[in-house]
Structure 1
C-alpha cells in the first residue's frame, strides 16, 4: 500500500469542509438554510406538530439546528412551501416540488463525492471510519 501523502486528520477535515461547502451552495441556490432543509425532509415523510418537528430536529448531530423549529418554519410558511392547519404542518405542492428539486441537486453532490470509487470501497470506508470512532469513543 502506498504511503499517505497527507495526514489522516487533514484529509477528513478537508473532505468534511468540501462536502459542507457543496451542500451549503446547493441549499443557497434553493434559498434554503440547513435547518429549513431538514424540516422539509421531515415534512416530506409525514405531517408533524411543532413538538414533533423540534424532536426530529434535535436528532441531528450538529449545532446549527438547536433552535426551535419555528425559527426555520417561518420562512417556509411565508414562502408557501409549508402550510399549517390545527397545529399540524405539512408540505404544500410547491414545497414538495422544491424539496424534490433540492434533494436531486444534493444527490448530485453525493454522487460526485463517491465518483470513481470501486465497488464496495465506499462501504468499507464507512465501516472503517465507524470503527475508528468506536475506538476513540469514551465508554459512558
Structure 2
C-alpha cells in the first residue's frame, strides 16, 4: 500500500468503514448462499430450523425485523415447502432431508467466510470491536437530536 493510500484510509470516518463492511458482508454472504440456491431469507428460516422443528409463528416473529412487507413471509415459506426444503405439519415447521443437506452445506461456506472475516483479529479484539459498536448503537439509539451536545472528545 502506498503512503497516500494509508493516509487516505486512516482519515476516512467510521461511517465509511461501517457502510463498506456492511456492503462486503452482504455481498459475500449472498454469494455464498446463492451458490447453494439460497437467499438470505431462506437461509434465516433454514438456519432457525437447524436445531429442530419450531412453530411457524415463532419463526416468523423471530425474523420479523427482516421482512420488508407482510407478503414476504408466506411467499418465502411456500417456496421453501414447494422446493422440498421445509415441511409444514399444521404450522409446525421442520427441515426435510434435502433442507438439512442444503443448510449444512451453506453453514460450511458461511463458517469459512466468517473465519475469513476475522482473519488476523484476536478474539479479544473482535469482542472489543463488537462491544464498541454495541455501545455506539446504545448511545445513539435513544438520543433525540435535542439531547446531543458538544462531543466530549474527538472521535
Task: Pick the TM interval, shorter chain.
Answer: 0.7 to 0.9
Q: TM-score scaled to structure 2, two decimals?
A: 0.77
Gaps of 5+ in 2: 1-5, 145-155
Return the offset for 1:139. 5.5
Name the Cα RMSD after superposition: 2.3
Question: What is the deviation of 1:13?
Answer: 0.5
Structure 1 unaligned spans of 5+: none
Are the aligned partners of 1:24 and 1:34 in contact in 2 as well (CA < 8 Å)?
Answer: yes
Aligned partner (choices 131, 135, 138) of residue 135 of structure 2: 131
Question: What's the offset of the Cα at 1:100?
Answer: 0.7
**TM-score in terms of structure 1 length:** 0.85
The change in CA–CA distance for 1:24 and 1:77 in structure 2 (over 3 A counts) is same
Other-structure match for 1:78? 82
- CA displacement 1:1-44 (0-9 Å, x = unmatched): x9823211101100110001001111111111111111101211
Shift in Å, 1:129:
0.9
Confirm or deny: 8 A CA contact 1:26 1:106 kept in the other structure.
yes
3-state SS of the aligned residue for 2:11? coil
Asked whether the 8 Å contact 1:44–1:91 carries over to 2, the reply is yes
Alpha-carbon spacing, 1:49–1:63, altered in 2? closer, same or farther (3 Å): closer
> In 1, are the aligned partners of 2:67 and 2:73 still within 8 Å (CA)?
no
The change in CA–CA distance for 1:57 and 1:92 in structure 2 (over 3 A counts) is same
- CA offset at residue 75 of structure 1? 2.0
Counterpart selection for 2:34 from 28, 37, 47: 28
Q: Report the secondary structure of 1:89's partner residue.
A: strand
Bigger Rg, structure 1 or 2: 2
